[in-house]
Amino acid sequence: MTLDGRVAVVTGGSRGIGRGIAEALLADGANVVINGRSEAKGKEALGELGAGDRALFVAGDIRVQSDVEGLVDAAITRYGRVDILVNNAGGSDGFALVHELSDEAWNNALNWNINAVFWATRRALPSMLERSWGRIINISSVEGKQGNKAAISHYITNKHALNGFTKAVAFEYGTSGITSNAICPGAIETDMMKELGPVAAASAGITYEDFLQTYAQESAIKRLNTVEEVSAVARLLASNVGGGITGALLNVDGGTAAW
């Protein structure tokens, strides 16, 4: 599972799932570049990671193409390569039923969840192809395998699309030593969930507590998942021994999705 000498880029890596994955990859020996919109939170994260020259923060908004491409370029400038790309950052806002959903919310979700992944993947692939080794890990969602919640149709649609993109990349680069997989977590109460969950719940006409309990009760384990459970799967996918896994949509949802 060692990642000594490998270079990983993690979008949205200053907190939440991305932060947990960054910590796991650092523990396995990788150099890690994380991004986020807040310079202050990024500097705080670097201090807490305590990895010295093995970690770098690059401020930017993944919904902006130049910021995404600049993130990958910064990793190559600093460490000379990109071996592992974790497309973690994503989300949606402007929650509403389809007949009330705004163009702004729809297009923002596309940039946040799909376009950003495309921009980052396209930018990182040449570095991976040079060495015939690469790991692309997309953080999807249990919602990418179902469509049973109101007011989040844009998020559901985007995560289904992300799963399709994951498989397309796996097919195109499978003989080049590059894997492409998606992790589909259930609900995890990250900072972002605490920020956006209450809004999504209100749009669906329920309380935030009921919103979380809906996820918990849908699962076989009757609880929310954790960042550590997702990070453990990411470690496997990023490793040498994970090389035989590609095009997979791996559930970390406590047994929620039907497939």
Q: What is the mean pLDDT of each run of 10 residues along the chain (259 residues)?
A: 95 96 98 96 96 98 98 98 98 96 98 98 98 98 96 97 98 98 96 90 92 94 98 98 98 97
Catalytic residue among 79, 155, 173, 215: 155
- Taking Cα atoms as reference points, which of 152, 161, 18, 156 lies closest to residue 85? 18
- Overall CATH class of domain 7-186+226-252: alpha beta
- Taking Cα atoms as reference points, which of 232, 192, 194 lies closest to residue 212? 194
How many Å apart are CA 253 and CA 256, to the nearest integer?
A: 6
pTM: 0.96
How many Å apart are CA 91 and CA 204, to the nearest integer?
A: 17
Active site residue 79: no
User: How is residue 64 written in tokens?
Assistant: 């902006």
Q: What is the predicted pLDDT for the residue at 176? A: 98
Q: Per-domain residue ranges for the chain?
A: 7-186+226-252
How many Å apart are CA 256 and CA 71, to the nearest integer?
A: 34
Length of the chain: 259
